[in-house]
């Protein structure tokens, strides 16, 4: 099932999804009215999401299978909880999320296999639009390093290469069924300039 008015940006760390969501929401609100476009992200800002962000930051570790369950639980509240994505989209808002279950199928599949993430995320609706940011892991990790911030547990070149390969496998699989599912998948060259990417995304959505 496709959830109308729901847009998802996906890509490995440093691909530029967060930057582009800010630009899209600003552009969307300018064009369509204040509050017409809303930004969100996974992990969320809720209790489970904050727990996950501490784990990603290396404050503590959990079993990778536990990790997969926690991301799914956070996602369930994100989509179906009070004031969640489903409620907002059905009210006519356009919601743009930085990451969704495609991330779990890429990140968690590398560490605990493909079956569990696929099973846990099967109940969630597909977005109407999926923008997949394609970038060389060495380039994206260079961007992460240049921020001067503490790296998260997945932000090593070895892990990012494996995750990028799994992302490609996941997205390619959905591309094969896109005509049937109704989800529109757009690949973005994330090594282009910020303004070029922003213009490309807006042009795709205008159509």
How far, in Å, are 37, 49, 94, 183 from residue 178 at the CA level? 24, 29, 21, 5
How far, in Å, are 11, 54, 98, 107, 182 from residue 161 at the CA level? 12, 23, 20, 11, 30
Percent of the chain with pLDDT over 70: 100
Instruction: Return all residues near 58 (Cβ < 8 A) that are at least 6 apart.
Output: 150, 152, 153
Q: Residue 196: count other Cβ atoms within 10 Å of its Cβ.
A: 12
Q: Residue 84: which CATH number?
A: 3.40.50.300
Confidence at 196, pLDDT banded by 50, 70, 90: very high
Confidence at 97, pLDDT banded by 50, 70, 90: very high
Could you tell me the two tokens for 78? 């994100």
- pLDDT score, position 206: 85
- Residue 173 DSSP one-character state: H
- pLDDT score, position 16: 94
Confidence at 89, pLDDT banded by 50, 70, 90: very high
Q: Residue 97: count other Cβ atoms within 10 Å of its Cβ.
A: 24
**pLDDT, tens digit (0-9, with 9 covering 90-100), for 145-171:** 888 777 787 878 888 899 999 999 999
Strands 126-134 and 184-189: parallel
Structural domain total, the chain: 1
The pTM for the full model equals 0.94
Q: Please say whether the beta carbons of 6 and 95 come within 8 A.
A: yes
**pLDDT, tens digit (0-9, with 9 covering 90-100), for 105-126:** 999 888 888 999 999 999 999 9
Domain that holds residue 188: 2-206
According to the 3-state scheme, what is the secondary structure of 144-164?
HHHCCCCCCCCCCHHHHHHHH
Could you tell me the two tokens for 61? 């570790």
Confidence at 131, pLDDT banded by 50, 70, 90: very high
- pLDDT score, position 153: 77
**pLDDT, tens digit (0-9, with 9 covering 90-100), for 27-74:** 999 999 999 999 999 999 999 999 999 988 889 888 989 999 999 999
């Amino acid at each position: 099932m496709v959830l109308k008015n729901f847009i998802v940006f996906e890509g490995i760390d440093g691909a530029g999804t967060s930057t582009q969501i800010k630009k899209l929401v600003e552009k969307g609100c300018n064009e369509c009215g204040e509050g017409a476009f809303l930004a969100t992200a996974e992990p969320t800002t809720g209790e489970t999401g904050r727990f996950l962000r501490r784990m990603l930051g290396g404050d503590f570790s959990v079993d990778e299978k536990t990790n997969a369950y926690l991301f799914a639980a956070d996602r369930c509240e994100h989509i179906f909880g009070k004031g969640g994505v489903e409620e907002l989209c059905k009210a006519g808002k356009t919601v743009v999320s930085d990451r969704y279950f495609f991330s779990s199928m890429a990140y968690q599949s590398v560490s605990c296999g493909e079956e569990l993430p696929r099973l846990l995320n099967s109940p969630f609706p597909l977005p109407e639009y999926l923008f997949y940011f394609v970038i060389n892991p060495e380039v994206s990790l260079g961007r992460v390093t240049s921020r001067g911030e503490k790296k998260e547990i997945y932000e090593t070149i070895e892990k990012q290469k494996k995750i990028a390969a799994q992302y490609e496998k996941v997205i390619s699989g959905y591309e094969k069924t896109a005509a049937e599912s109704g989800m529109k998948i757009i690949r973005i060259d994330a090594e282009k300039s910020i303004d070029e990417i922003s213009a490309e995304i807006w042009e795709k959505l205008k159509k």
